[in-house]
Amino acid sequence: MKLRRTLFRTALAAGLAAAVAMPAMAQQVTLKFHTFMPPQSNVWLDMHVPWMDKIEKESGGKIKFERYPAMQLGGTPRDLYDQAKDGVVDIVWTLPGNTPGRFPRIEVFELPFMMTNAEATSKAYWEYVQTYAKDEFKDVQLLAVNVHGPGVIHTKSKQVKTVEDLKGLKVRGPTRFITKMLGELGATPVGMPLPQIPDAMSKGVIDGAVIPWEVVPAVKVNELAKFHAEFDPAGGALYTTTFVVAMNKKKYDSLPPDLKKVIDDNSGIEASGWLGKVQQGNDPKGRKTAETPRNTIYTLSPEAAKAFQTAAADVADAWVKEMDSKGFKGKELLEGAKTLIKKHTK
């Protein structure tokens, strides 16, 4: 009898210990993060990795990330948003513009000469979504949004100094309104995701591309293009591109309150501003890779930028008309975005 009691007590104690341990174990969450950026890119190393590291640390190790750059889980960059929406992965960083026309209201930030700097414009972008376009992302848990630094024109065999220099050149653009802008400037626009640029440029499918400085080394544009045309900040930024950090809604909803708080603390307007600041902060590093004897960097003056602004003015008008046709107040959205950018620009 004594032995049976001892065994019973031991079993009971083990059962209670297991019951206590089960909730703790249930708190362990693994999140799959997927993006198209290569693992050697500034975006991956200086934005994505620190963001994930911070969440893991603040969760006390209860959140762990499986990290997949360069589309390692399959699909194409165009698939990323739906991978998060459908639960194929848990979190993505991607371009809404990869699926043209699906997120029309946020395209306002990609219109020519809209942005000031990436931190301010990213904060404005977040506030704009909450105010004017929240339903565009209703299928996911939107964690953050951002834009990159000012876009730069990179060409293989011809230096761009004026609008006329773009005529006849096949130039890659990332999204539909940026490719529309390139068409208005006289280029032959070619839409394609970032990872396709090196192959397309080396084979002559395109004569050049528009991308920010920070991503230049990741896609070897410093080696493939000889000429680079940037804009003096005093004359404005030619364009930028919008990005989102999107999480599967069911996965987010399944998190216990303490882990939801960790995610929330690393989301929103401040996270958006940080992403933009870090991305543009790597522009000088990317530019330095093109400061070689074989490369020529030309800076367009504010006066020269006016010709680009005039040539691209119809792009904003076209966007306003399209918004009106969809039942949105295009002019109000455009002015709202401009006001928010001004508000957040120091």
Q: Which of 43, 56, 16 is nearest to 282 (CA)?
A: 43
Q: Which amino acid, one-letter code, is at 94?
A: T
How far apart (Å, rounded) are the C-alpha atoms in residues 125 and 146? 7
The predicted structure's pLDDT at residue 15: 52
The answer to whether residues 135 and 105 touch, using CB atoms and an 8 Å cutoff, is no
Residue of 273, 24, 36 whose CA lies nearest to 144: 273
d(CA 312, CA 111): 9
Q: State residue 129's pLDDT score.
A: 98
Q: Are 206 and 190 in contact (CB under 8 A)?
A: yes
Among 301, 286, 111, which Cα is nearest to 211's?
286
Cα separation, 96 vs 227, in Å, equals 29
User: Residue 27's pLDDT is what?
Assistant: 73
Over the stretch 19-69, which tens digit does the pLDDT of each residue have?
444 444 457 999 999 999 999 999 999 999 999 999 999 999 999 999 999
Predicted pLDDT at 235 = 96
Indicate the DSSP class of residue 36: S
Give CA–CA dist 287/15, Å, rounded.
62
Residues of the chain with pLDDT under 50: 1, 3-4, 7-8, 11-12, 16-25
Structure tokens at 189: 């626009």
Instruction: For residue 66, report the phi and psi dihedrals to the nearest 5 degrees.
Output: -95, 125
Q: Do residues 118 and 277 lie in contact, with contact meaning Cβ atoms separated by under 8 Å? A: yes
Give me the pLDDT at residue 9, please. 56
pTM of the model: 0.92
d(CA 150, CA 147): 9
Q: Backbone phi, then psi, for 31, in 5-degree steps? A: -115, 130
Alpha carbon 284 to chain centroid, angstroms: 19
Whole-number Å distance between alpha carbons of 116 and 341: 7
C-alpha span between 168 and 178 (Å, rounded)? 17
Give the count of alpha carbons within 13 A of 288, CB side only.
Answer: 5
